[in-house]
Every structure is written in C-alpha cells, then in structure tokens.
Structure 1
C-alpha cells in the first residue's frame, strides 16, 4: 500500500512516521522546494513541492500509484487547491481511502453546549466557512467516485515539541481568563491512531470528531502544565485586555464541548491521552 500526503505538517508527519511500516512508499508535499529536500533527507519520504508557487510535475504520476490519500493542506479563500488541481487525477486513480483533516471550528460557537457529529455546522469565521466548503467538496468527490472519503474534525492539537510546557519554557505562555471558556484538545498520537483505525475500517462519507474526553478552561491547562514541569506560572490576564492576534482572539469567540463517542464506538479507538492530564504527564520529560 502506498500513501500520499498533501501537506506534511505536524499531524500528518506524525501519522506517516508512526505508520511507515504499513506503507511500501510514502510521498508527501510541502509548499517550498527547499523544505521538501530537507524533510526528504530526514525521513526518507519522497517529497514534492505543492502550493501557490509550486506544483511538482511528478505528483500526477504519484497519485496514480497511490492507495491511501491524506489531505492536510488547508484551503484558501479561492477554495481547495488540491481538488482544483488534481480532482480528475484522483477520481481516475486506484485510491480507495481518502482522509481529510478539518477542524471542530466548523461548528462555530455553541455557547458552551455539548455537541457531536449530528450537530449542524454553523461556522462563524471566514476561515471556518471555507473549511466547511472544502469538507463538502471532498465528500462530494467520494459520492461521485465511490471512494471512501472520511472527514476528521480535529480539536486543538498538541504533542512533542508543541504543547503548553514548551510555551512555558520559552516564555511564550499567557494565562488568559475568560469566564466560562473551555476548549477541547487532542494529542497528535491519538489523531494518528484514529486515522489508522479508519484505514482498517473505512466508511464512505463518514465525519468524525477527533478530540479528547474533557474540555477544560485554558488557564487550568496552563496551571497544570506549570505544576508538572516545575515552572513559574505566568500572571493571569483578562481576555479583554490580553495581547492576542486576531486569529487567536477569534478562537475565544467560540465555546463548545465536543463529544468523541463516534470514534470510540465505530472505530474502536481508545485514546492514549483521554485528557490533558495524561497528555502533559507524558510530555513533561519528552521535550
């Protein structure tokens, strides 16, 4: 079985690394040719450049020789670049499993309520509306071609090198207080385990929430991380006066508690890190 990945970022690379024994060949893209060469040397993957300013001529042949396709490259305001360029090639290929990595942001603000995959997507931001349109386009491709397209809506991703402990150590952490605000999270290894389970048990048209069991206030997670690592706690900052980028501030405009029942009951996923406590405990000495 051969794997092709559009957008070999933090999550997709973790999946490809952990499952490399499953695949005879792993091919993947990043947006810059120099980065492609560096990652190829690090991983042994066949790397290609694909993005607004690059389109490796080998990709069409790669897709014709692919069995499983993971799409992690985000859409833009102009739509999904992968579909715009390669929908026909993918439709004509032998690819049988397609995983599209999306975000729980497509649910918009739910006022802190519990939601699941039956909850209508009501994206608030332009970024999330474009993402929902991309989801729908990939599912439509699956319906037209009979290929098993699955959408994975991810919550806040963390893992080795990318977590609250690292932010504390690097002095980049803020303890932002906003009454009633909670976020779900998901360890990157639990995402990889979910993708593996889907490959073993594909369901065309499936949409899965990939998230942990316990949504929690962001300041609570920061406090726990600081206690685990023996690091000083940053001062509390009121959300209204916090120094946040527009994108970061937009995340606080959406409040929801996301259930993960479907990945457990349908795919048999048992989260290695069901809450931030187990995830941070495993990471405290790893970074």
Structure 2
C-alpha cells in the first residue's frame, strides 16, 4: 500500500523529465523546487528554481532547500567523474538531516545489445561504452550516498522519453524527423507523464537500493512510430535510410545499434503502477489532441 508522499522535494535538473515531475508534485500539493543552469530563462509555473552549475558557488537558498527537503530526484546528465550535482552539493547534502529518499534517472543504455531479447531488473548492466560507464558510476555514487545516510534510494533505468512537445509529430512538422530503418530493430518508450507517476509511486513506497525499469507495453520499430505519426498528422514521411548508410550520422547509428525489449512487470508490481499511455499510439494521440504537429 502506498504511504504518504514526501512533504518537500528537490528536483536536481529541471529539464524535460524534471519539469514534468515537478508539475505533478505541485498538483498534488507537494512543496517542490528544482535546479537549473541558468535562472534567467522563463520560469516554470511559479516553481522556485535555484542555479546549479559547475564553477559557480552554491547559494544560500539552494543550501536551505537541500537541508529542508525530504526527497531528492536527480536528472542531471553524468560526466566522466559520475554525477556532477552530487559533487557540487556534497557539503549541503551532509547537512540534509530531513532527507529520507533519493532517486536517480539513469538509462537502459547501461545494457548491451540483446539482439531483440528481453531485459528486466535482474539483467546484468553489461554495456561497455563511455555513456554506460558514466551512468553506472553516477548510479553507484547515489547508491553509496544513500547507504551511508541510511535513507531509501531508487535508480530508474529509462528507455527513450517522449510526450507533448517532444515526439514524432513535432519532428515531422519541423522537418527534423529521420526515417532510419534497421530490420528487426525494436525498442520501448516511456511517456514523460508516466515517468512522473512512477517516480511519485517510488517516493510513496520507499525501499532500500531499489531498481526500476518503467516502460510502455509495446517494443516497436521506430519507423512504425514515425509512420503512425505521419498518418495521424497528415504529414509527409521522409525517405527511408538504412541505419548503416554513411549519410546517417555516427551518433544516430550508435542509437540504432542496440536492440532490446524491456520487461517492466517487476517494476509495475513493486510500485503498483501502470502507464497511462501503454503504447506510442495513445501517447501520440494525446500529443495531437494538444496541438503537436499542427
């Protein structure tokens, strides 16, 4: 059974996922603030924002937010030394006497190619590239911090995120979509609103050293998603390209190099959570209804 939500939450990194989590928490009446690299950018629905950037001092207001919070969720990308936010806030975190839960948003990129096979919470994180090593190091750092502090922790290994404002409809409408095809390739997705509800569920069910793999119900070929979005929005479908075509950027080819399916049943059972958007079809329909691609 779900327990009480934390009273005060600090989101480190108010990017796409962090903003959606903060919006959900505010809607539930939870006191939430977050960090950004530049506080001069447009505000997020009245959300209190603190500057957190390498080479910049941590101000008094952010130190107080760290000291007072019950839960911290970090979505800051890692660097070669792990999690930069954890390093920048080390002194403040040592004084966070109210802290009871920490969470870290990681990636399923920590798993090597499975040739279309399944991964779940018991699978070995065996990817050996720089991206995976950085993610795993940041995970380990947050887990170690939680162990020393004797507080609950959760790592969320995520597939590709999408939602309103960031989806195939938008890419097609802006002529930025790439119709890259690798035969047999599938992967899962996760709507950003479903990520937010999964994180809240984890906060309400604190556990020691928890690992979650929230994902949708349908590992699908990316070209199927693009074709569905084009049909939904009446938008032209770009010409197809083979994934190993030299014209495809190397960074994009690496994205298509990993072929795996996510089994999220363990996560759903542990959190008593179900995605509102079980496939890309429901997610794209919601985005279309709210003006994306028009």
TM-score normalised to structure 1 length = 0.93
Aligned length: 283
- Which residue is equivalent to 1:7? 13
Runs of 4+ residues deviating >4 angstroms: none
Deviation at 1:208?
0.3
Deviation at 1:156?
0.4
Residue 244 of structure 2 aligns to a residue whose secondary structure is helix
- Residue from 53, 57, 79 that aligns with 2:59: 57
| Change in CA separation of 1:91 and 1:23 when aligned onto 2, cut-off 3 Å | farther
- Which residue is equivalent to 2:46? 44
- Residue from 139, 143, 151 that aligns with 1:147: 151
2:72 pairs with 1:69: yes
CA distance in 2, matches of 1:130, 1:243: 28
- Which residue is equivalent to 1:120? 124
Larger helix percent: 1
- Which residue is equivalent to 2:37? 31
CA distance in 2, matches of 1:242, 1:200: 48
2:192 pairs with 1:195: no
* Structure 2 residues without counterparts, runs of 5 or longer: 1-6
Preserved CA contact (<8 Å) 1:2 1:23: no
2:186 pairs with 1:186: no
Q: Residue by residue, what CA displacement relative to the aligned partner does 1:192-238 show, whole Å, maximum 9, x if unpaired? A: 11011111111120010021111111111101111111112111111
| Change in CA separation of 1:74 and 1:55 when aligned onto 2, cut-off 3 Å | farther
CA distance in 1, matches of 2:157, 2:245: 30
Preserved CA contact (<8 Å) 2:163 2:193: yes
Aligned-CA RMSD value: 1.6
TM-score normalised to structure 2 length = 0.91
Bigger drift between 234-243 and 94-103 goes to 234-243
CA distance in 2, matches of 1:121, 1:234: 35
Preserved CA contact (<8 Å) 2:81 2:137: no
The residue correspondences of 1:119-268 to structure 2 (distance < 5 A) are 119-241=123-245, 243-268=247-272
| Change in CA separation of 1:33 and 1:243 when aligned onto 2, cut-off 3 Å | farther
Q: Residue by residue, what CA displacement relative to the aligned partner does 1:70-98 show, whole Å, maximum 9, x if unpaired? A: 10101111321122222343244111111
2:277 pairs with 1:273: yes
- Which residue is equivalent to 2:3? none
| Change in CA separation of 1:161 and 1:210 when aligned onto 2, cut-off 3 Å | same
Residue 100 of structure 1 aligns to a residue whose secondary structure is strand
Bigger drift between 242-251 and 161-170 goes to 242-251
